[in-house]
């Protein structure tokens, strides 16, 4: 985990890169490598600069809470640089902030959960928008160890400094035979890792690529006595850094539409060839 001085130094570098990217037609090579599009061709005739997105909430001092990421530090650095005249234009107020701009830059796809999905207390759990996806690195050998599963989930949350009170979608890769013994061990590991959320009856979201959702959910509810709302979707491919929207359950198929918003692009936009002209 980075120390506070290290985070502060990183925020300074990030802020300087942002300023160089928008104020110079020939930014440094280290900054040019970050561009996904061509640099701004013409910087003349600009009357002012306006910030949007989550970081802008800190630039304009509309937000004080620290969410454990670089947002507050970067926003405060940008505000200080703008106040010091580092930008060649005045900073203009934003009439209406646009938060989470990164989602607007994401790739969207839609998948449908398998018909073995399990959902309890559906009115509380669904629909749900903008669930952050986390994908713990969990090994599922022939004999699954529940404590190892729990340690993998908890370790992933701690590694990425995720807010323990934030609802998350836990994406798990299922490998091997779907025997009762193995699914029961996985359920026990999930219950151990998410015990605080379960005790608080917060909705629990698990998404698997294998078709074991209904069995896993039934074990959690009926055998491990989890009374928190459960949504165990299966047959869906996810990865870390995705966000998902879960729609209402569809009848009579008992499936759930899942919109996947990926911040990891499958292609470099700079490499996409222009469409041929007719």
pLDDT (tens digit, 9 = 90+) per residue, 24-44?
767 788 777 777 777 777 778
pLDDT bracket for residue 194 (50, 70, 90): very high
Comparing 38 with 223, the larger pLDDT belongs to 223
State the pLDDT at residue 177. 94
- According to the per-residue pLDDT averaged within each range, which of 7-16, 226-235, 262-271 is highest? 226-235
pTM of the full predicted structure? 0.60
Instruction: Report residue 273's pLDDT band, with 50, 70 and 90 as the boundaries.
Output: very low
DSSP 186-226: HHHHHHHHTHHHHHTT--EEEEESSS-HHHHHHIIIIIS--
127 vs 239, which has greater pLDDT? Answer: 127
Statement: residue 96 has pLDDT above 80: no
pLDDT at residue 164 in the model: 57
Q: Where are the domains of the chain?
A: 4-99, 105-262
């Amino acid at each position: 985990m980075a120390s506070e001085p290290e985070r502060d130094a990183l925020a300074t570098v990030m802020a300087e890169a942002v300023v160089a990217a928008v104020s110079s037609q020939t930014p440094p090579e280290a900054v040019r490598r970050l561009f996904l599009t061509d640099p701004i061709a013409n910087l003349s005739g600009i009357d002012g600069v306006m910030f949007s997105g989550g970081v802008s909430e800190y630039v304009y001092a509309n937000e004080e809470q620290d969410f454990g990421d670089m947002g507050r530090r970067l926003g405060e650095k940008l505000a200080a640089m703008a106040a010091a005249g580092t930008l060649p234009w005045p900073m203009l107020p934003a009439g209406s902030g646009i938060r989470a701009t990164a989602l607007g830059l994401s790739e969207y796809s839609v998948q449908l959960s398998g018909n073995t999905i399990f959902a309890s207390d559906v009115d509380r759990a669904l629909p749900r928008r903008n669930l952050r996806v986390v994908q713990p690195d969990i090994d599922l050998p022939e004999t699954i160890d529940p404590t190892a599963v729990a340690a993998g989930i908890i370790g992933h949350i701690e590694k990425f400094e995720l807010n323990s009170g934030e609802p998350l979608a836990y994406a798990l890769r299922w490998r091997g035979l779907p025997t009762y013994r193995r699914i029961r061990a996985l359920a026990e590991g999930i219950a151990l890792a998410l015990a605080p959320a379960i005790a608080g009856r917060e909705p629990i979201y698990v998404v698997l690529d294998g078709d074991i959702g209904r069995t896993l959910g039934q074990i959690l509810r009926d055998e491990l006595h989890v009374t928190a709302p459960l949504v165990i979707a299966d047959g869906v491919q996810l990865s870390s850094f995705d966000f998902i929207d879960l729609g209402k359950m569809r009848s009579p198929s008992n499936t759930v539409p899942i919109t996947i918003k990926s911040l990891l692009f499958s292609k470099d936009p700079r490499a996409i060839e222009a469409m041929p002209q007719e």
